[in-house]
Every structure is written in C-alpha cells, then in structure tokens.
Chain A
Amino acid sequence: MSKIKTYEEINQKLKAGKAVVLTAEEVSKMAQEASPEEIVEKVDVVTTATFGAMCSSGAIINFGHSTPPIRMEKIRLNGVPCYEGLAAVDSYIGATACDPDNPTYGGAHVIQDLLEGKDIVLEAWGKGTDCYPRKHIKTKININTINELILFNPRNAYQNYNVAVNTTKKMIHTYMGTLLPNLRNATYSTSGELSPLLNDPEFKTIGIGTRIFLGGTQGFVVWPGTQFHTTRPKNELGVPVTNAATIAVMGNLKEMSPEYIQAAYYEKYGVSMFVGIGIPIPVLNVEMAKRVSVNNSQIQSSVLDYGTVGTPKLGEVSYEELRSGSIKIGGKKIRTAPVASLSKARKIANELKEWLETGNFEISKPVQMFPQNTSLKSLKETEADHD
C-alpha cells in the first residue's frame, strides 16, 4: 500500500529538521527519474511561488484617532482616493486607485512608500458629528504612526493565465504588457511548473487557512479569490489551460518587504502591484506526488488575441514552448516574453524552503476546502445606453 502522510507528521519532521523540502522545479526534475511512489517516500513538502502584477490588491489601514476626532468621509493619501465607508478612521486603499490628474501614481505606490518608511500626506474630510466634531484634517503618517496595515488581496495567484497576442495593425498597451501589431510578440505571466495553483490543481491541500509566504512574511489564504472558476477546460492531467481559480490572501503589511511588494505603472493601462506569493504543498500521498511532479511540457495555456473584441482564442501552447523564446500560431513563429518574474518566484520558493527546513514555518491543514464546480457570471446590461 502506498504511503500516506498527515500534516502533523510532516510538521513534526519540519520541527526536528528532518523533513525533505524541494521546490516545485526541483521535484519536476526529480520526477523524470523517480516514480510518484518514490517521491511520496522521499519528499515531504514542495514549495511553489509566483511574482507577478496582481491588480486585485490593497491594504486596510487604521489611522488612529485625532483630537478632536473626525469621522473620515472622504480620504486621500498622497492625493490617491481611499475607501471611506469603513468606520471613522479605517480605510482600504486599492492598489489600482489613483487621482485621474496623476494617473502614474496610485494606491500601489502609496503602499510601497509606506513599506519603505516614507511619510505620506493624509487628508480627510467629515461632516462633523457630536462624537466626531472635526470636519477636516491634513497631516503626515508613516508605517510607524498608523495602527494596523493589513494587505488584503481579493484575487491573486491566478491558476494559469492566458498568453496575450495582438493580430491587429496597431500596437496596444495592456496589463499583459505592450503587444506589437501583426502577431509580432506574445506575452505570458505564470511561473509554469513553479506556479502555486498549478501544483495543486484540484485544491486538495490549499484552502481557507493555508499558511503561505506573502510579500516576505507569513500570510494566509482567507477565501477563494474573486472570479474563482473551477470548470475551465483542462488538459489530460486535469490542469486548466486558461485562467481559472484564484485565492484571496491576507497578511501583515508592516512585516512585508519592498523586495516582494512592488508598485507598477502600465502605459495607457494604469497602476498595478507586483506581489510575491509562495505556497507550500505537502506531499501527503501518491496523488499529490503526481500533482507536484508536473513540468512545463505538461502545462498548456490558451493564446488569446487581445487586439480583438472578445479576445478570441488562437491556439494552445505549452510552458516549455513559451520559455523556449518562441511559439507557433497558425504556422507563424512568434517571439515570447514573460511579464512576471521567474527569478523572483524562484527566490521566493527557495526562501520558503529555507523557512520550512529551519523549522520557522508550519504547514497548515485548511479549515475549509474550496467549493467545486464553480463558474462565472458575466455582467448583463439591462439599461439601454443612449449616449
């Protein structure tokens, strides 16, 4: 009978410094010669990672009360609008938020400036109430003066993503980078065989409560991410061939590092934020050993035309082809380029591996598994547009 391990057994081995931890790339290599049965015997945890632009990011901030206090009903941080409906002195700043007059500096830049210890101008307005009489405040805050600073990202670490191309005659600027006309380049964004959700495609070990590497510190998976989609087309190994499931994550931004949280501005698109995420996957049984053994030739992604309305699919390519530097679509050779950092993802996978090996990181059994058979609704337009 093949071996089955428990979370408790693996954590005991981690604490004793006896666990075998490999990165997902290392285990994919090992799998060229070792069977899943041998891998489950030899390996306890596999570390996965990704470092890419994740627009659905942001931070919850508690500013603390002033004297006299104010009920903040309009809030600006360095001119960037923040959400004002979270009680008197709490706010949520979205990474993509910006002042339309200064579109290259947004919420992600405010978050990065806070992380780097810089002063930020806080300006807020309220109507003035009996318990919060102040109507206006303008002051400076920094990471040390505020109470909580919590990263909360509703949709991160996409399970696979599309390859972007442009068939039109005009260059276009997208969140997948600059796409040259006439299929002159193709961009892709996941870390392939190192990518977290591609190593546990059916969410057997990742769920609510999973402890993860987030921005350089420990964070948690707190919910299925928005646009969580588990019924996308899959390949013969059960790996989705297009953007599918996502995770919502949370962690203490005060403990994070600017090395793994990086503000970005995409030309003619807007502000976004690179986020570093690493997820440890326990090799509990043969099935998980098979899952973490997946390699770039076994992961495909859909090539979509971002220049045409409806982003029609033009084909499928493997990550092995994408990494080779060119793909073929309709007989045409197209140069490829990544838009997410594999070198950073590798650094995260190795850092997480070290945390695990030195007993500084426990793997956690999810307190609730993710839903199955989910799909997405599109937005229906019920009012006629007379513009």
Chain B
Amino acid sequence: MIKKRYILNFPPESGDKAFTYHLVKDYDIRINILKAEVFPGKRGSLLLELQGKKENIEKGVEYIVSHKIKCEPLDKRIYFQEEKCIDCGNCTAVCFAGALTMNKTNWKLNFDKNKCVVCELCIPACPLKLFKIDFN
C-alpha cells in the first residue's frame, strides 16, 4: 500500500462524471479529499490523497487522465526557494499539517511536501516570501 497526493484539474466538460466513485469501486483506492474548488459549469480542482496498491493507483491515475483531467503529483506544484531560507520558523507557526517543522537539533527548517495539505497559510507567513503553491 502506498499513499500519494495529486492535484486534479477538471475541464468544464468533465465536471459531471463520478470519478471518485470509479477510483474506489474499480481500482480499490481509498480517497481522502483534502481540498476542493468547484465552479459550476466551469472548471474544478481537487486535492486528493490516494491510498492503495501502487499498480492500482497508477491505473486509477491513467483512468483519470484518459478523461482529459489534468492530474499532477502535489509536490510538483509546490515551490519553495529553499536556498534563500533563513530558518526563522515563521512558517512553522501556521503549518498544522506538520509539513513545515524545525529540526530540533540544528534548528533548520524541514519541509515534507508529502504532508502538505495546501492550506496555503505558509505563503503569507513567510517574511521572505519563499513559498508559492499553484493549486489551479
């Protein structure tokens, strides 16, 4: 079993299909919806955490993509200019998903993209503006 997070972007014509139902029913994938933005008659975005067998997740992603839905692993949509980070810790104050933490030994910032739920609070919290997250 593996766990992966994807951002799905739906074109207007794909908004009425029950994709999550098929992911569960046909590919035996456990779904956790972390974030959703739906604009009726227009486009929509979903942040999904998929849990299941590796091959099932791959097939499930193929199924989604075959319906013209853009599907990207979450970590590819998070931009963090790590080389400019001063390890001040301001971003850790707002990150309740535990993606941003201070290493208690060297007090440097740890960023675990896999834990990010795209709450986006780190973006304004960083005084150096080093985070960018492209959800759409």
Please list the residues of chain A having a beta carbon within 8 angstroms of any beta carbon in chain B: 51-53, 104, 173, 177-180, 184-185, 187, 262, 264-268, 272, 274, 323, 325, 335, 337-344, 346
Residues of B within 8 A of A272 (CB): 127
From residue B79, how far is it (CB to closest CB) to chain A in Å?
A: 18
Residues of A within 8 A of B93 (CB): 177-180, 185, 187, 335, 337, 339
Report whether A340 and B88 are in contact in the complex, using a CB–CB cutoff of 8 Å: yes
Report whether A341 and B128 are in contact in the complex, using a CB–CB cutoff of 8 Å: no
Out of B87, B104, B125, which one reaches A177, CB within 8 Å? B125
Known: A173-B124, A265-B129, A346-B107. A185 touches B94 (CB 8 A): yes
Known: A185-B94, A339-B88, A346-B107. A267 touches B125 (CB 8 A): yes
Report whether A338 and B102 are in contact in the complex, using a CB–CB cutoff of 8 Å: yes
Report whether B127 and A343 are in contact in the complex, using a CB–CB cutoff of 8 Å: no
Q: Give the complex CA separation of A323 and B103 in angstroms.
A: 11
Q: Which of B78-124 contact A (CB under 8 A)?
A: 86-90, 92-94, 96, 102, 104, 106-108, 121, 124
Known: A173-B124, A272-B127. A178 touches B88 (CB 8 A): no
Residues of B within 8 A of A344 (CB): 86-87
Residues of A within 8 A of B125 (CB): 177-178, 267
Known: A177-B93, A346-B107. A341 touches B87 (CB 8 A): yes
Interface size on B, residues (CB 8 A): 20
Out of B108, B121, B124, B128, which one reaches A343, CB within 8 Å? B108
From residue B130, how far is it (CB to closest CB) to chain A in Å?
A: 11
With both beta carbons as reference points, the residue of chain B lying nearest to A184 in the complex is identified as: B96
Residues of A within 8 A of B121 (CB): 178
8 new A-B contacts, CB < 8 A, other than A178-B125, A179-B93, A337-B93, are A178-B90, A178-B124, A187-B93, A265-B127, A338-B88, A343-B107, A344-B87, A346-B107
Secondary structure of the B contact surface, majority rule: loop
Residues of A within 8 A of B128 (CB): 262, 264-265
Q: Give the complex CA separation of A346 and B86 in angstroms.
A: 12
With both beta carbons as reference points, the residue of chain B lying nearest to A180 in the complex is identified as: B94
Could you count the A-B residue pairs with CB atoms below 8 Å apart for me: how many are there?
A: 73
Residues of A within 8 A of B124 (CB): 173, 178, 267-268
Report whether B94 and A338 are in contact in the complex, using a CB–CB cutoff of 8 Å: no
Report whether A341 and B127 are in contact in the complex, using a CB–CB cutoff of 8 Å: no
Report whether A266 and B127 are in contact in the complex, using a CB–CB cutoff of 8 Å: yes
Report whether A342 and B107 are in contact in the complex, using a CB–CB cutoff of 8 Å: yes
From residue B114, how far is it (CB to closest CB) to chain A in Å?
A: 20
With both beta carbons as reference points, the residue of chain B lying nearest to A52 in the complex is identified as: B88
With both beta carbons as reference points, the residue of chain B lying nearest to A344 in the complex is identified as: B86
Secondary structure of the A contact surface, majority rule: strand
Which of B87, B90, B106, B124 counts the most A-chain CB atoms under 10 A from its CB?
A: B90
Please list the residues of chain B having a beta carbon within 8 angstroms of any beta carbon in chain A: 86-90, 92-94, 96, 102, 104, 106-108, 121, 124-125, 127-129
Residues of A within 8 A of B94 (CB): 177-178, 180, 185
Report whether B88 and A274 are in contact in the complex, using a CB–CB cutoff of 8 Å: yes
Known: A178-B125, A185-B94, A266-B127. A337 touches B89 (CB 8 A): yes
Report whether B104 and A325 are in contact in the complex, using a CB–CB cutoff of 8 Å: yes
Residues of B within 8 A of A337 (CB): 89-90, 92-93, 102
Residues of A within 8 A of B89 (CB): 187, 337-341
Report whether A51 and B86 are in contact in the complex, using a CB–CB cutoff of 8 Å: yes
Residues of B within 8 A of A51 (CB): 86
Residues of B within 8 A of A265 (CB): 127-129
Known: A264-B127, A267-B124, A323-B104. A274 touches B86 (CB 8 A): yes
Q: Give the complex CA separation of A323 and B104 in angstroms.
A: 8
With both beta carbons as reference points, the residue of chain B lying nearest to A342 in the complex is identified as: B107
Out of A53, A180, A338, which one reaches B127, CB within 8 Å? A53
From residue B28, how far is it (CB to closest CB) to chain A in Å?
A: 36
- Name the 3 nearest CB pairs between A and B, nearest first: A337-B93, A264-B127, A338-B89
A sample of 10 inter-chain contacts (CB < 8 A) reads A52-B88, A177-B90, A178-B125, A179-B93, A272-B127, A337-B90, A338-B89, A341-B86, A341-B88, A341-B89
Q: Give the complex CA separation of A323 and B105 in angstroms.
A: 11
Residues of B within 8 A of A177 (CB): 90, 93-94, 125
Residues of B within 8 A of A339 (CB): 88-90, 93
With both beta carbons as reference points, the residue of chain A lying nearest to B90 in the complex is identified as: A177
From residue A278, how far is it (CB to closest CB) to chain B in Å?
A: 16
From residue B96, how far is it (CB to closest CB) to chain A in Å?
A: 8
